[in-house]
Amino acid sequence: MKKPSAPKKITWIIGLISGVLGIIGHYARVDILTEHNYMLLLIGFIVLAVGTTFKGV
């Protein structure tokens, strides 16, 4: 099994923003965020997982 690598800064920022928007959508009533909160959390998790799995992403 490969060792995980640190994701690029932009990948980390995109994953973090997506996850934070998903959390905000869950706890606050913001129409577009509330409608897609689970998808935003999933996208954030996938971006961070891909960023640590593949080197240079």
Tens digits of pLDDT across the chain (57 residues) = 778 888 999 999 999 999 999 999 999 999 999 999 999 999 999 999 999 998 888
Domain that holds residue 49: 9-53
Q: Based on the structure, what is the number of domains in the chain?
A: 1
Is there a domain that residue 44 lies in? Answer: yes
| Gap between the Cα atoms of 55 and 6, Å rounded | 8
Is there a domain that residue 19 lies in? Answer: yes
Please tell me the pTM assigned to this model: 0.85
| Gap between the Cα atoms of 11 and 1, Å rounded | 22
* One-letter amino acid of 20: V
Is there a domain that residue 1 lies in? Answer: no
Cα atoms found within 13 Å of the Cα of residue 42, Cβ hemisphere only? 4
Is there a domain that residue 35 lies in? Answer: yes
Any idea what DSSP says for residue 40?
H
Is there a domain that residue 46 lies in? Answer: yes
Between the CA of residue 42 and those of 1, 12, 16, 36, 37, what are the distances in Å? 24, 14, 11, 10, 9
